[in-house]
Amino acid sequence: MSIELRHFRCFLAIADTLSITRAAERLHLTQPAVSRTLRQLEQEMGIHLVDRSTHHLALTPDGLSFRDRAAIAVTAFDRALGHAHHTAWPLRLGHAWSAAGTDTTALLRRWHEEHPETPLELLRIDDRTAGLARGDVDAALLRGEVRAPGLITEQLTTEPRVAGLPADDPLAHRTALSLTELTGRTIALNTVSGTTTLDLWPASARPSSTITIGNTDDWLAAITGGRAVGVTTSATAEMHPHPSMAYVPLTDAPAVPVVIAWRDSTGHPRIPDLIALAHEVMGRGTGSTGGAPPRTR
């Protein structure tokens, strides 16, 4: 037996739903057919991808590792079929929040002017790599440290951190704050794609109360609703002004690096042009954490 694309799609449906029943419903197959396809894939690869020893399915470490590679393969196949019917090959640029800040419009317009034959699609994906590791995008604008394997990054700029407060908060009218002035507050932490953790505070003055959220919209709602305060970068203040929100500079919080990232495998031929333009528009950073692909036009 040889592995086919249907095996990948079946595994990804199971990985997404963690259920044979729901995966079968998604694929319009029977449960035995889904189980059989998964078993064939595992036998052919010689590894266990799914732990079925409990009432709830879970991906094994090999399954977690294989999930991203399978997603990249399926996405590449689907895109290749799409290109057969369209002359343009869109370049997909992911971001988890705030894109390129106030440089977003300039970046998109400059690209359209200089590369009109290649549409640049800006996609927000609530994921630490904005969908890059899974193959959902070709490149991504990310903030903070990026540790995902198989990615190359180049720093573009840095952004100062600010506190996010309800507009009627007693601290909202201050011109600047320190982290320790937020210690007694409940902190909203974006654990999916955010850059703020309790390690930002001194060990002796860490907040004891937090709420966990998964995206910028929920972060804003938690703060404007009076449930918490937060820490973000200046790009959020620029991209998400709100009448019920106040952003106050933090004097003792380190700036956050903004990087452009791409996979270390063959990708969209216009990625080098996007990297060059991002540097030009957003400002030169400190350099690459991997070998940059050759610039081509």
Q: In whole angstroms, how far apart are CA 180 and each of 137, 173, 253?
A: 38, 17, 10
Q: Is 109 domain-assigned? A: yes
What's the whole-model pTM score?
A: 0.72
CB 234 within 8 A of CB 258: no
Residue 146: both structure tokens together: 């990026």
DSSP state of 47: S
CB 165 within 8 A of CB 171: yes
User: Residue 64 sits in a domain of what CATH number?
Assistant: 1.10.10.10
Q: What is the pLDDT of residue 296?
A: 27
Q: What is the pLDDT of residue 82?
A: 60
Q: Are residues 17 and 75 in the same domain?
A: yes
Q: Are residues 143 and 179 in the same domain?
A: no
Looking at 53, 83, 113, the residue that finishes a domain is 83
Q: Are residues 35 and 109 in the same domain?
A: no
Beta strands in the chain (DSSP E): 50-51, 58-59, 91-95, 120-124, 139-143, 151-159, 161-166, 186-190, 209-213, 230-233, 245-249, 256-263, 287-288
Q: Is 297 domain-assigned? A: no
User: Residue 183 sits in a domain of what CATH number?
Assistant: 3.40.190.10
Looking at 20, 52, 83, the residue that finishes a domain is 83
Q: Are residues 245 and 167 in the same domain?
A: yes
Percent of residues, the chain, with pLDDT higher than 90: 65
Q: What is the pLDDT of residue 294?
A: 32
Q: What is the pLDDT of residue 67?
A: 85
Query: pLDDT tens digits for 274-285?
Result: 999 999 999 854
The rounded distance, in Å, linking the Cα atoms of 117 and 140 is: 20
Residue 217: both structure tokens together: 């919209």
Looking at 62, 83, 104, the residue that finishes a domain is 83
Q: Is 233 domain-assigned? A: yes
Q: Which residues form the domain of 68?
A: 5-83
Q: Is 294 domain-assigned? A: no
Q: How many domains does the chain have?
A: 3
Q: What is the pLDDT of residue 83?
A: 55
If you average pLDDT over residues 61-89, what whole number do you get? Answer: 74
Q: Which amino acid is at 110?
A: R
- Give 65 or 110, the one with higher predicted confidence: 110
**What is the Cα gyration radius of the chain?**
22
The rounded distance, in Å, linking the Cα atoms of 193 and 260 is: 15
Q: Is 166 domain-assigned? A: yes
Q: What is the pLDDT of residue 287?
A: 42
Percent of residues, the chain, with pLDDT higher than 70: 91
Q: What is the pLDDT of residue 54?
A: 66
**pLDDT above 90 for 179:** yes
CB 252 within 8 A of CB 178: yes
3 — pLDDT class (breaks 50, 70, 90) = confident
Query: pLDDT tens digits for 121-177?
Result: 999 999 899 989 888 899 999 999 898 888 999 999 999 999 999 999 999 999 999
CB 18 within 8 A of CB 58: yes
Residue 109: how many other CB atoms lie within 10 Å: 12
Q: Is 268 domain-assigned? A: yes
Closest to 155 (Cα-Cα) out of 2, 287, 36:
287
Q: What is the pLDDT of residue 282?
A: 95
The rounded distance, in Å, linking the Cα atoms of 187 and 227 is: 9
Q: Are residues 56 and 175 in the same domain?
A: no
Q: Are residues 73 and 183 in the same domain?
A: no
